[in-house]
Amino acid sequence: MTSARGRLTKDGIRIYEPGDFAGMAEAGRIAATILDDIIPQIFMGQTTTEIDRIITEMVTDHGAKSATIGYKGYQHASCISVNHVVCHGIPGEKKINDGDILNIDVTVIVDGWFGDTSRMYVAGKLPRKSERLIEVTHAALFKGIEAVKPGNTFGDIGHAIQSFVEGHRMSVVKDFCGHGLGQVFHAPPNVLHYGRAGTGPVLEEGMLFTIEPMVNLGRSETKVLADDWTAVTRDKSLSAQFEHSVGVTATGVEIFTLSPRNLFHPTYG
């Protein structure tokens, strides 16, 4: 057993120390750098297996460890979710097509700290409605992040995301959520991307968690395929997701997984 840091709130949420944020920032930086560096590999005809193979190498080259290889039997360094796949897409031999939208989700462990982040990528020419979906999903993540400060609640985060997304006549996935992380991958609380303002646990300085809204062009319902991982929209509508790992500071929020080269925006065209 490694010694757990800090204390737990009554909701079982770990409160980390200010000195712990540097470890999270380094893990987050490496995860985000990998998402920057994978961009040239997203093109028509490329397979998601090949993308994942390169990500696996990148993780090692950074001296990091993949958090997903071996996690509950998962065997890959990334989840790659194409078009109507909501999350947990398994890399495979299927080639990327013109106009496909992809989420790539990478989690690394660096010195015991977890960095978990995902973004959207596109291959070829992007239809306008896919572009809108991606724009709204990214903006929704930041609506959630803007609600992060001591004294606000987790319900404020969910409400900010849900009201923004539904205002654009899109739907928020309710079957998957963000999560506490830090020196573990998935810890309390469940960070819901929907909810009522003022409800849920109160945010405190030192909490570390992800916000990772999944947004669908159609209805919010999902199902998991027979491989026990791949989650898809029930109505086959397109789905997008962005994820950041964040920490609550004395005055607001620190985002650990910002793109070092500001390449978070998918390259359209």
Closest CB 64 distance from Co ion, rounded Å: 15
Closest CB 79 distance from Co ion, rounded Å: 7
Closest CB 257 distance from Co ion, rounded Å: 9
Would you count residue 74 as binding ligand MF3 (CB under 6 A)?
Answer: yes
Give the residue, chosen from 25, 79, 80, 170, that forms a contact with ligand MF3 under the rule CB under 6 A. Answer: 79
Closest CB 19 distance from ligand MF3, rounded Å: 25
Compare residues 142 and 185 and give the one whose CB is closer to ligand MF3. 185
Compose the 18-47 pattern: x for residues touching Co ion by CB under 5 A, - for all others. Answer: ------------------------------
| SS3 of the chain | CCCCCCEECCCCCEECCHHHHHHHHHHHHHHHHHHHHCHHHCCCCCEHHHHHHHHHHHHHHCCCEECCCCHHHCCCCEEEEECCEEECCCCCCCECCCCCEEEEEEEEEECCEEEEEEEEEECCCCCHHHHHHHHHHHHHHHHHHHCCCCCCEHHHHHHHHHHHHHHCCCEECCCCCEEECCCCCCEEEEECCCCCCCCCCECCCCCEEEECCEEECCCCCEEECCCCCCEEECCCCCEEECEEEEEECCCCEEECCCCCCCCCCCCCC
88 binds, among Co ion, ligand MF3, none (CB under 5 to 8 A by kind): ligand MF3
Binding segment (CB under 6 A) for ligand MF3, from list 69-77, 146-154, 163-171, 215-223: 69-77
Residue ranges binding Co ion (CB under 5 A): 105, 116, 210, 243
Residue ranges binding ligand MF3 (CB under 6 A): 68, 71-72, 74, 79, 88, 105, 107, 116, 179, 210, 212, 229, 243
